[in-house]
Chains A and B, each alone.
Chain A
Amino acid sequence: MQDDLGRSLGGFDAALARLWRDLAGQPALRGHVFAGTEEWRALLAYKLVPHLVGEGCLVVAVTGGTNTGKSTVVNLLVGMEATPVRTTAAATCRPLLAGSPERAAQCLQGKLVPEFTPRRLEDPEDVIRFEGPENLLYVCEAPNLPGRIVILDTPDIDSIETRNWEVANHIRAAGDVLVATLTPEKYKDERVVDFFRRAHAAGRVVLPLLNKANPANGFAAGRQQLEEFIRDVGLESPACFILPHDYESAHDYARPIPALGGGETLREHIERLDTAAIKRRVYHDTVARFAGEAESFLEVVDETARQMKRVVAEFEDRARQFALRYDPAPGPAVGGLFHEFVQSKRGPVARGVGRIGSGVARGAASLGRALRHAVLRRAQLERPTAESESDLQRRHRESIERISRDLATSFLASGRNLAGPAADMVAGRLDALDLEAAVKRVASETLRCESISDDFRRHAERTLENWWNDHRGKRQVLLALDTVLAIMPAAIAVPISIYVGGIGLPETMIVAGPLMEQFIVRVIEYQFGDAMFDFLSPWRDEQRAHLVTALNKHLTGPALAAVRETLASLEGETAAELRGWLEQCRQAL
Chain B
Amino acid sequence: MPASLVEILNELERIAAYDGPWKPLRRETRALGERVRELVARESHEDDVLVIALVGGSGVGKSTVLNALAGDHLAETSEFRPCTSQPTVYHPPGVSLDFGAWRRISGSALENLVIVDTPDSDTVVREHRALVADVLAKCDLIMLCGSQEKYLDEATWSLLRPLQGERSMVCVETKAQGPESIEEHWRARLREQGFQIAAYFRVNALRTLDRKLAGNNPGDGEFDFPKLERFLNNELSAERIARIKRANAAGLLAKTVARLEDSVAGLRPAVDALNRHLVQGDKAVARESLGIVERRLFTESYLWHFALGREVGLRAKGIVGTLYRMVEAVRSLPARAAGWLPWNLARPDAGRRAASLLISREVFEEDLALASEEIARVYRNRQSELGFAFARTGFDPPPEDAGLDEYRKELNDRVAAVLRGPGREDVVRRARWLTGWPAVIAADSVPGFFLLYAGYRIVHEFFTPQALPPGYITHAAVVLFILLGAELFAMSLLARAAAWAARTRALNALQIALYAPDLAFRPERRILEDARRLLDTVDRLKRAIPQ
B445 is an interface residue with CB less than 8 A from chain A = no
A232 near B124 with CB under 8 A, answer yes
Q: Which residues of A contact B88 (CB under 8 A)?
A: none
B-side contacts of A193, CB under 8 Å: 124
Contact of A378 among B60, B334, B384 (CB under 8 A): B334
Q: How near does chain B come to A427, taking the closest CB pair, in angstroms?
A: 9
In the complex, residue of chain B having the shortest beta-carbon distance to the beta carbon of A410: B397
In the complex with contacts A190-B122, A413-B391, A87-B380 CB distance below 8 A:
no
B232, CB-defined interface residue at 8 Å: no
Interface contact A191-B154, CB-CB below 8 Å: yes
Contact B152 A159 (CB under 8 A): yes
Chain A hits for B377, CB < 8 A:
395, 398-399
In the complex, what's the smallest C-beta–C-beta distance from B459 to chain A, in angstroms?
Answer: 44
Chain A residue nearest to B378 in the complex (CB): A398
Shortest distance from the beta carbon of B327 to any chain A beta carbon, whole Å: 13
Q: Which residues of A contact B255 (CB under 8 A)?
A: none
Which residue of B is nearest A68, CB measured? B149
Interface range, A side: 35 or more
B296–A188 touching, CB < 8 Å: no
Q: Within A411-438, which residues are at the interface with B (CB < 8 Å)?
A: 412-413, 416, 430-431, 435
Out of B154, B334, B387, which one reaches A375, CB within 8 Å? B334
| Interfacial chain A residues near B148, Cβ < 8 Å | 67, 87
Which listed segment binds A: B43-51, B297-305, B426-434, B491-499?
B297-305
A162 interfacial contact with B, CB 8 Å: yes
Are B155 and A158 in contact, with the CB atoms below 8 A? yes
Q: Which of B126, B349, B392 contacts A381 (CB 8 A)?
A: B349
Task: Tell me whether B29 is interfacial, beta carbon within 8 Å.
Answer: no
**B81 CB–A CB distance under 8 Å:** yes
B: residues with CB less than 8 A from A are 23, 57-60, 79-82, 122-124, 126, 147-155, 157, 177-178, 180, 182, 185, 189, 193, 295-297, 300, 302-303, 306, 331-335, 337-338, 345-352, 354-355, 377, 380-381, 384-385, 387-388, 390-392, 394, 396-397, 400
Task: State in angstroms the CA–CA spacing of A26 and B378 once bound together.
Answer: 40
CB distance from A322 to the nearest CB of B (A): 11
B390 contacts across to A, CB distance below 8 A: 409
In the complex, 22 of the A-B residue pairs with CB atoms within 8 angstroms, ordered by the A residue number, are A67-B148, A67-B152, A68-B149, A89-B152, A158-B122, A158-B153, A184-B81, A188-B58, A189-B57, A214-B79, A375-B334, A378-B331, A379-B335, A379-B338, A381-B302, A381-B303, A384-B347, A385-B295, A405-B387, A409-B397, A412-B391, A413-B397
B59 touches A185 (CB 8 A): yes
Q: Is A344 part of the binding interface, using a Cβ–Cβ cutoff of 8 Å?
A: no
Residue from B151, B154, B332, B352 in contact with A382 in the complex, judged by beta carbons closer than 8 Å? B352
Of chain A, the residue at the smallest CB distance from B344 is A379
Q: A160-B157, A382-B348, A382-B351 are in contact. Are A412 and B123 (CB under 8 A)?
A: no
Residues of B within 8 A of A376 (CB): 334, 345-346
- CA A404 – CA B154 in complex, angstroms? 52
A346–B180 alpha-carbon span in the complex (Å): 117
Whether B388 pairs with A188 at a CB distance below 8 angstroms is no
Chain A residues within an 8 Å CB radius of B177 = 247
Assuming the A-B contacts A67-B148, A160-B153, A161-B152, are A382 and B346 also in contact, with contact meaning beta carbons closer than 8 angstroms in the complex?
yes
Complex-state Cα separation, A402 to B60, whole angstroms: 68
- With a CB–CB cut-off of 8 A, which chain B residues contact A212? 149
Q: Is A379 a contact of B82 with CB atoms below 8 Å?
A: no
Contact with B along A188-203 (1 / 0, CB 8 A): 1111011000000000
Nearest chain B CB to A559's CB is how many angstroms away?
A: 12
- List of A residues within 8 angstroms of B151 by Cβ: 67, 89
* Complex Cα spacing A222 to B381, Å: 79
Interface membership of chain A positions 208-232, coded 1 if the CB is closer than 8 angstroms to chain B and 0 otherwise: 0000101000000100110010001
Interface: A565 (CB within 8 A): no
Is A554 positioned at the interface, with any CB of B under 8 Å from its CB? no
